[in-house]
């Protein structure tokens, strides 16, 4: 799978925003705990789609109640495609449940979804990106500082004075591909994470890592 740097502002053959929860989630757990932001199309739409979804968090931005390993931590988790729908790989009791963001974020998400359905963009100036594709995950970031001791990974030789490319692996040594990131605030403020998306095609598994600046 080749991913080229690209900012997406409208639906097209690379990305579709605001999928319906019933179309991507098979359980009430995910429907109540996640906002589906979009589908990345790695082939023709509908043939190899990767879900971009953000979980609700607590006031500190945490999505997991403990750093348990590759399936969930304070600022990351994985979900996988099973029988055509996406579900988390951790157990329900490992997720953080809170009412800090859901009401306000759901309201803003619904308003943005309605606006997008009418006009095909997130703002009247068409300057808010739906998703930013990128080839490499950078170590020069807050998210890397949070996962460095918990997820298997390699670093490239320096590409800049303070930057290396990060490659993340699952427990079996299979490599996740970095696909890019979404700005959650553009969909569902007051949630403000930058959501980084990694994908392991062999297992149809998505790793999401949240970043706060």
Q: How far apart, in whole angstroms, are the C-alpha atoms of residue 177 and residue 170?
A: 11
Q: How far apart, in whole angstroms, are the C-alpha atoms of residue 172 and residue 162?
A: 29
Note the pLDDT of residue 160.
81
Q: How far apart, in whole angstroms, are the C-alpha atoms of residue 207 and residue 21?
A: 19
Full pLDDT tens readout for the chain, 213 residues: 668 899 999 999 999 999 999 999 999 999 999 999 999 999 988 899 999 999 998 877 889 887 668 899 999 999 999 999 999 999 999 998 876 678 889 999 999 999 999 999 998 888 899 999 998 999 988 899 888 788 999 999 988 878 999 999 999 999 999 999 999 999 999 888 899 999 999 999 999 999 986
Note the pLDDT of residue 1.
64
Note the pLDDT of residue 71.
93
**Whether the Cβ atoms of residue 74 and residue 58 lie closer than 8 Å to each other:** no
| R_g over Cα of the chain | 16
Max distance between CA atoms of the chain, in angstroms, equals 47
Note the pLDDT of residue 213.
67
Please give the structure tokens belonging to residue 151.
Answer: 């997820």
Q: How far apart, in whole angstroms, are the C-alpha atoms of residue 212 and residue 61?
A: 8
Report the run of H or E that residue 147 belongs to, with start and end. Answer: helix 142-147
Please give the structure tokens belonging to residue 142.
Answer: 């807050």
pTM for the model stands at: 0.95
3-class secondary structure per residue, 20-85? CHHHHECCHHHHHHEEEEEEEECCCCCCCEEEEEEECCCCCCCCECCCCCCCECCCEEEEEEECCE
């Amino acid at each position: 799978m080749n991913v080229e740097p690209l900012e997406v502002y409208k639906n097209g053959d690379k990305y579709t925003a605001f999928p319906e929860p019933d179309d991507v989630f098979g359980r009430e757990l995910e429907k109540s705990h996640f906002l589906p932001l979009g589908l990345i199309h790695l082939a023709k739409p509908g043939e190899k789609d990767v879900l971009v979804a953000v979980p609700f968090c607590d006031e500190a931005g945490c999505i997991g109640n403990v750093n348990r390993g590759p399936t969930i931590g304070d600022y990351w988790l994985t979900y996988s495609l099973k029988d055509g729908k996406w579900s988390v790989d951790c157990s329900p009791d490992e997720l953080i449940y809170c009412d800090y963001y859901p009401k306000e974020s759901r309201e803003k998400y619904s308003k943005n979804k309605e606006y997008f359905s009418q006009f095909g963009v997130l703002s009247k100036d068409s300057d808010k990106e739906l998703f930013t594709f990128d080839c490499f995950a950078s170590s020069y970031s807050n998210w890397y500082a949070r996962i460095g001791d918990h997820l298997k990974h390699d670093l490239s030789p320096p590409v800049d004075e303070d930057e290396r490319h990060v490659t993340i692996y699952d427990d079996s040594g299979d490599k996740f591909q970095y696909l890019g990131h979404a700005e959650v605030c553009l969909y569902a403020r007051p949630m403000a994470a930058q959501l980084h998306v990694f994908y392991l095609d062999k297992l149809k598994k998505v790793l999401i890592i949240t970043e706060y600046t």
